[in-house]
Structure 1
Amino acid sequence: MTATGPSRILTLDAVRGIAVMGILLMNIVSFAMPDAAYVHPLALPPVSDGDLVAWGINQLLFEGRMRGLFALLFGASTLLVMARADAAGGSPVATHLRRMAVLALFGAAHFLLLWEGDILLHYAILGMVLWLARDWPVDKLVRAAVIALSLHSLYWSFQIGGALMFQAMATGPDATPQMVAGYRTMLAGFPGPGSPAIVRDLAIYTGDYAGIVEHRLSDKLWTPWELLKVLGGESLGYMLIGMALMKSGLFTGEWPRAAVRRVMVVAYAVSLPLLALLTCWTVASGFDRIVIMGNFIAWAVPLRVLCALGHVALAVLLVQRFAASALVARIAAAGRMAFTNYLATSAVMTTIFYGYGLGLYGSVGRAELYWFVAAMWAAMLLWSRPWLDRFRYGPLEWLWRSLARGRIEALRRS
C-alpha cells in the first residue's frame, strides 16, 4: 500500500481515532470549567485529592500530547491528500487550499456557535502554508519542525523567565511599593484561584445560548489569533513532524518494528522522567501561577513532543499487532470520522455543561469529568463503524469534501 494509493491506511486511521478520543481527556476541562482551570488545578475549588491525581496524570502523559498528536496527524493527512490529488491528475496545491478554506469556515462556525476552544480554524490557518513543504525531504521537514518548536519554546521561556525574575525582586526584602503593585498587576494576568475571569465564566456559561454567543462576538472574537501566538509554533512543528513521518513510511508499515519500538523506548525514557520533575516542581512551588504557565507554554514543550512521538510509536505497534481485532476496526472507524466526532463532541459536551442544556458547568469535579469522557468514547466507538458500513464518509467529512470540491459527492454506499 502506498501513500498515494486510494486505499485507506489502517494505521493512520486508527492513530487518528486514538487522537480524537484522547484530545477529550484535556478538552473536557474546558467544556466543564472556567478557562483558568485548564491551566491551574486549584482555580475552581473545592479540589479533592482525586482531582489533583487526575491533573497530575494528565500533566505527565496527556497535556499537550493529544493536541500535538492531532496536529501531527493533520500534517500527515494533508500530505496524503495532496499526494492523492497529484496521482489523480488534479492540482495538489489548489485541492489543499480549497480544503483549508472550507475548514476555516467550519472552524469559525464552531468557535462562534458551539465552543471557543476550537482548534480547526487554528489548523486551517497554519495549514495554508503547509503546501510549501510538500516536496521537502524528510530531513528538511524535521529540521524545520525543530526550528519552529525551538523558536516557540525559546520565546516563551524568555517571557516567563522575565516574569520569574520580576517575582523574585518584587517578593524580596528590597522590593519597593511600586514593584509590589506592578507584580500584583502582572500576577492577575496569570490563571489561578480568585481570578475575576472565573466569576465571569461561571456567570456566562451557566446562562442562555444568546448570551454565550454574544460574549464570543464581543469579548472572544480575537481568541483564534491569540491562539496562533500562544500555540502556533508548537502546532506547526507537530504538523511538519507528521509530514516527515508520513514520508518516511511510519504509517504505511515501512518502518521495522524494532525501529518503532526503539523510538518509543527512547522517547519515553527521556521525556517522562523530566516531565515528572516539572510536575513535581509545580507542586513544590505551591502551584505558583508563573511556574504553571511556564511549564504549560514553554519548558515542557520539547518534552511533550518527545512524549507524543512515544505515544505515536506505541499506537503504531499496538495497531499493527492487533490489526485484525474488532476494537482496532472501531477505533479506525472513529478516526475516519474524526472531523464529525470532534464537532459532535463539542455539541454533546456544551449541551451537557452549559446553561442552555443541563447546566452542569462548574459543578462537576475534575476527576468525575472522566465518566463523561468514557461515555463519549463509547458513543464514538459504537456509532462510527455502523455509519461507515452504510456510507462512504462521515456526515461532516462528506460535507467538507463536497464543499471543497464544489460538487455533491456520493455518500451512500452502492
Structure 2
Amino acid sequence: MTADTDRYITLDAMRGFAVMGILAMNIIAFAMPEWAYVTPKAYGGLTTENQLSWLLSFIFIDGKMRGLFSLLFGASLTLIVEGAQAKGESAKKIHFSRMFWLALFGLTHYFFIWFGDILFLYASVGCIAFLFKEWQPRQLVKWALIIFGIGLLLWGLQMGGLQVLQFFATMPNADPEIAQQFGKIINSPDFDPNVEKDLALYRGGYWPIVEHKLSEWYAPLTLVLQSITETLPLMMIGMAMKKNGFITGAWAREDYIVWIKRLVPAGLVLSAGLAGGLCAVGYDPVNSVAVFLVWSGIPRLMLTVGYAALLILVIERYSGSALIARVTAAGQAAFTNYLGTSIIMTSIFYGYGFGLYGDLSRIELWPFVFGTWIWMLLWSKPWLVRFRYGPLEWLWRSLARGKLQKMIR
C-alpha cells in the first residue's frame, strides 16, 4: 500500500498502464470502420505497413489491456467487499449500488458518446462475480478456467464448424448445396464489413450516429452474452489474485518471474502463429472472425496474466520514479480517463468534430495515442494532489453511496 492511503500502488499503476494501453487498440475503432479492428484487409489494404501495424497490435496488445481491466475489476470488487465488511457495512448494498450506476454510465457512454463501451459489460458481469466473493483463490481459479473452457467450446463449435463449411464449400468440386449454404452465410450482414456505411455514418452529424445506436439498443446486452465466458473468468481470477496477494505485489520476485516465463513467451508465440495463419489465408472474414472470437482466447488469457506479473515487477522496481507516480495517478482516475478519451477521440475523428474518420493510416494514428497518454499523465497527478478522486470517480462514488463525498483533500 501507499504510505498515507489504503490504496495499493500495484493496482493503481497497473490500471494506469491498462487505461493507456487500451487506447492503442481502441484508436482503430475510433478512427476507422469497425472491421479494421478485426482484419487489415477491411481498411487500409494489404500494404506491408498496414499488415505489419495490424500484426504487431494483434500479437502484443489486442485484448490484453481489456483483460487487465477485467482482472483489476475483480480485484477491486474483493477489496471493496473486504473494506465494507471491515467497517460493518453491507457489502451487497454497496456493490450493487456501484454496479447500478456503472451500468447507467455505460449505457450513456454507448448511446451518446461511443459504441465501444465496456462499462455496461463490467457492471452486468460484476453482479454475477459478486456471488463468488467468499470463494477461496484455488476454487475461483478452477471455476474460472472451467467457465472459460466452456465458452471456448461453445464458440469453437460454432466458428470451427463454419471454418469447416468454408473449406468444403470453396473446394474446386464443391457440392452445390454446401456452396449455396456457405454463400448465404458469408453474404449475410454478420460478415459484411460494410465500410462505406460506416464511413458515411461517422463522417456525418451527431444525431444520426445516436439514432443509429438507439436503433440497435440491444447491442450492449449482446456484448454481455458474447463476452461473459471471458470477462467473468478474468474477474474471478482477479478476485483470486487479490485474495492470494498476487496482484498486490505480496509474492516473491522469483514467483512473478516464474509466471512470466511460463506465460509470456508461449502466449506471444501462439498469437504470432495465429496472426501468421491469417496472413497466409489472406485475412478472409470467416477465419478472421474465428481467430478474433475463439482461437486467440487462450494466448490472450496467458498474456493477460503474464503481463500482470511483468507489470507488477516493473511497478515495484520503479515505484519511486516520477513516471510511475504519474501512471499511478492516471490509474486512480482511470474512469475519468477512459470516458474522457472517448470524448476526445470522437471529437477528433467523427464528422461533428474535426472529421478525420477514415482519413489516416494505422501508423498515422499513433501520434494521437501518444498525445492522449501525455494528457492523462499531465492532468491526473496534479488533480489528485488537491482532490481525493477524479471527477467521474467522485460522481460515481457519490451516487453509489447516496451522498456527496468529500472531494478536497
Tell me, in whole angstroms, the C-alpha distance in 2 between the residues paired with 1:303 and 1:196.
Answer: 26
Tell me, in whole angstroms, the C-alpha distance in 2 between the residues paired with 1:185 and 1:203.
Answer: 26
Q: Which amino acid aligns with 1:98?
A: S
- C-alpha contact 1:74 1:242 (8 A) present in aligned 2: yes
Tell me, in whole angstroms, the C-alpha distance in 2 between the residues paired with 1:304 and 1:349.
Answer: 26
Tell me, in whole angstroms, the C-alpha distance in 2 between the residues paired with 1:189 and 1:329.
Answer: 49
Percent of paired sites with the same residue: 45
Provide Cα deviations, 1:38-89, integer angstroms capped at 9, x if missing partner: 1111101345322211111111111111111111111111111111111111
Match of 2:305 in 1: 309
Tell me, in whole angstroms, the C-alpha distance in 1 between the residues paired with 2:362 and 2:184.
Answer: 28
- C-alpha contact 2:35 2:193 (8 A) present in aligned 1: no
Provide Cα deviations, 1:152-185, integer angstroms capped at 9, x if missing partner: 1111111111111111221123424443232222
- C-alpha contact 2:103 2:119 (8 A) present in aligned 1: yes
Superposition map of 1:94-173 within 5 A: 94-173=93-172
Match of 1:242 in 2: 238
SS of structure 1 residue aligned to 2:388: coil
SS of structure 2 residue aligned to 1:286: coil
- C-alpha contact 1:142 1:240 (8 A) present in aligned 2: yes
Match of 2:282 in 1: 286
Matched, 1:350 2:349: no
Q: Which amino acid aligns with 1:370?
A: W
Q: Which amino acid aligns with 1:68?
A: G
Match of 1:203 in 2: 200
Match of 2:316 in 1: 320
SS of structure 1 residue aligned to 2:204: coil
Unaligned runs of 5+ in 1: none
TM-score norm. by structure 2 comes to: 0.97
Match of 1:184 in 2: 183
Q: Which amino acid aligns with 2:348?
A: I
Q: Which amino acid aligns with 2:383?
A: W
Q: Give the Å deviation of 1:371.
A: 1.3
Match of 2:336 in 1: 340
- C-alpha contact 1:336 1:394 (8 A) present in aligned 2: yes
- CA pair 106-139 structure 1, distance change in 2 beyond 3 A: same
Equivalent in 385, 388, 391 of residue 392 of structure 1? 388
SS of structure 2 residue aligned to 1:364: coil
Tell me, in whole angstroms, the C-alpha distance in 2 between the residues paired with 1:188 and 1:161.
Answer: 18
Match of 2:30 in 1: 31
Q: Which amino acid aligns with 1:128?
A: C
Match of 1:221 in 2: 217
SS of structure 2 residue aligned to 1:304: helix
Superposition map of 1:23-62 within 5 A: 23-62=22-61
The count of corresponding residues between Structure 1 and Structure 2 is 408
Tell me, in whole angstroms, the C-alpha distance in 1 between the residues paired with 2:188 and 2:210.
Answer: 24
Matched, 1:270 2:266: yes
Match of 2:209 in 1: 212
Tell me, in whole angstroms, the C-alpha distance in 1 between the residues paired with 2:30 and 2:150.
Answer: 30
Tell me, in whole angstroms, the C-alpha distance in 2 between the residues paired with 1:254 and 1:89.
Answer: 26
Provide Cα deviations, 1:246-270, integer angstroms capped at 9, x if missing partner: 1110233320000011111111132
Tell me, in whole angstroms, the C-alpha distance in 2 between the residues paired with 1:339 and 1:292.
Answer: 31
Taking only aligned residues, the RMSD between alpha carbons, in angstroms, comes to 1.6
Tell me, in whole angstroms, the C-alpha distance in 2 between the residues paired with 1:196 and 1:277.
Answer: 24
- C-alpha contact 1:6 1:84 (8 A) present in aligned 2: no
Provide Cα deviations, 1:254-300, integer angstroms capped at 9, x if missing partner: 20000011111111132111211111111111112222111111111
Provide Cα deviations, 1:204-256, integer angstroms capped at 9, x if missing partner: 111100111011111x2111122123222111111111111111102333200
Q: Give the Å deviation of 1:6.
A: 5.5
TM-score norm. by structure 1 comes to: 0.95
Tell me, in whole angstroms, the C-alpha distance in 2 between the residues paired with 1:45 and 1:318.
Answer: 35
Provide Cα deviations, 1:125-170, integer angstroms capped at 9, x if missing partner: 0001121111100001001110121111111111111111111221
- C-alpha contact 1:191 1:289 (8 A) present in aligned 2: no
Tell me, in whole angstroms, the C-alpha distance in 2 between the residues paired with 1:120 and 1:340.
Answer: 12
Superposition map of 1:10-25 within 5 A: 10-25=9-24
Tell me, in whole angstroms, the C-alpha distance in 1 between the residues paired with 2:232 and 2:14.
Answer: 19
- C-alpha contact 2:259 2:306 (8 A) present in aligned 1: yes
Unaligned runs of 5+ in 2: none
Give every structure 1 segment of 4 or more consecutive aligned residues whose post-TM-superposition deviation is greater than 6 Å: none
Provide Cα deviations, 1:346-394, integer angstroms capped at 9, x if missing partner: 0000000000000011111112111111110010000000000111000
